[in-house]
């Protein structure tokens, strides 16, 4: 098919990347996933693996993988290292992946005239904002190597957009949750850790006293925003993608229903993350539809699908997806 769109998803074996790749496949895109297999899981794409091209590569190093950008329309750059504590322990590794890696992906995109480049930025780059809900024009003041490298990555993206006329958009994601969230490691995404603890019958570990509030966005709302973002013509746009609401960690654990252990809070973490999404609503014609209560109920309804899987990452994607949309109706 001549008009079939061709898309590259870096980090396509990960949580958000795999959901995005699946959505693109369903939209009849020809999808290439580039991943180094360090954090992502093959099982995240097992239901549609035969419909994508999978390339194992380290984006922090230049290589033949960059030639795969030829004749593609879109690049969705989701590959990168996350989490705060590991970035403190090994900042150079984070710089190599999140900054050098982004540069290498940008250069390949520039060389092969990619029509649209979408960068997965992080709300952690705001540091501790002065105003809530936080707008995109808030001063960026990252507190950790992880958030700094994500900011530097965004700086590169916007600079390449200005200097080299690359059509770019940066989406600053707040806390994303949903199926396929990482459960491995000591510092994985909060919901992944909580669900892993629930499956093992262990108490939830809450950092600090649990009164801190976070802006949680369900994965289907995030994917919806990404798809709308590639359709806008305007370039060099920065948008917050969140729910526009915030909830305490204690409230989240109450909904999950379990015992609690409080552990010391790390310095430099904000008491609140809360997105102002008015700009995204206006430009993308998008708004989140899944409430935190509904999203958690969907997760808990599908938790039985995780029980037999190593590290609780195994999914029956078809069943889970049907359950999500059935519930949302």
Task: Report the CATH number at residue 161.
Answer: 3.40.50.720
- Alpha carbon of 42 to those of 11, 39, 52, 125: distances in Å? 11, 10, 12, 30
pLDDT recorded at residue 313: 38
Burial 279-291 (b: 16+ CB within 10 A, else e): bbeeebebebebe
Per the structure, the count of domains in the chain is 1
Active-site residues, by number, are 146
Please report whether residue 164 resides in a domain.
yes
The answer to whether residue 160 is domain-embedded is: yes
| Residue 1 resides in a domain | no
> Mean pLDDT, 10 residues at a time, over the chain (329 residues)?
86 97 98 96 96 98 98 98 92 98 98 98 96 98 97 98 98 94 61 84 92 96 98 96 97 93 83 97 98 92 56 35 35
Is residue 151, in this structure, part of any structural domain at all? yes
d(CA 301, CA 98): 35
Residue 242 and residue 275 in contact, taking contact as beta carbons nearer than 8 Å: yes
- DSSP designation for 281: H
pLDDT at 192 (0 to 100): 77
Give the pLDDT score at 181: 83
Whole-number Cα distances in Å, 64 to 61, 130, 254: 10, 44, 49
Asked if 302 and 320 count as a contact pair (C-beta separation under 8 A), the reply is yes
Domain that holds residue 16: 6-328
Written in H, E and C, the secondary structure of 158-171 is HHHHHHHCCCEEEE
| pTM of structure | 0.90
């Amino acid at each position: 098919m001549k008009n079939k769109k061709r898309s590259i998803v870096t980090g396509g074996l990960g949580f958000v990347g795999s959901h995005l790749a699946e959505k693109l496949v369903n939209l009849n895109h020809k999808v290439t996933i580039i991943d180094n297999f360090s954090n992502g899981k093959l099982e995240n794409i097992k239901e549609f693996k035969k419909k994508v091209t999978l390339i194992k590569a380290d984006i922090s190093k230049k290589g033949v993988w960059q030639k795969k950008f030829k004749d593609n329309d879109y690049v969705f750059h989701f590959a990168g290292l996350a989490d705060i504590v590991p970035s403190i322990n090994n900042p150079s590794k984070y710089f190599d992946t999140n900054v050098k890696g982004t540069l290498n992906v940008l250069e390949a995109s520039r060389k092969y005239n990619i029509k649209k480049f979408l960068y997965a930025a992080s709300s952690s780059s705001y540091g501790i904002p002065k105003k809530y809900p936080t707008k995109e024009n808030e001063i960026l003041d990252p507190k950790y190597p992880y958030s700094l490298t994500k900011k530097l990555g965004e700086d590169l993206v916007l600079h390449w957009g200005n200097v080299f006329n690359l059509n770019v958009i940066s989406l600053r994601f707040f806390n994303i949750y949903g199926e396929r969230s990482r459960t491995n490691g000591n510092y994985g995404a909060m919901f992944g850790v909580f669900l892993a603890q629930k499956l093992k019958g262990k108490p939830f570990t809450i950092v600090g006293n649990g009164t801190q509030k976070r802006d949680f966005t369900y994965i289907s709302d995030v994917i919806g925003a990404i798809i709308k973002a590639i359709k806008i013509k305007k370039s060099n746009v920065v948008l917050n993608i969140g729910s526009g609401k915030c909830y305490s960690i204690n409230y989240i654990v109450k909904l999950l229903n379990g015992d609690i252990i409080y552990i010391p809070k790390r310095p430099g973490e904000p008491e609140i993350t809360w997105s102002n999404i008015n700009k995204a609503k206006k430009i993308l014609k998008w708004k989140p539809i899944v409430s935190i209560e509904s999203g958690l109920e969907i997760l808990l309804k599908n938790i039985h699908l995780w029980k037999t899987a190593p590290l609780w990452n195994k999914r029956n994607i078809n069943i889970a997806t049907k359950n999500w949309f059935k519930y949302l109706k």
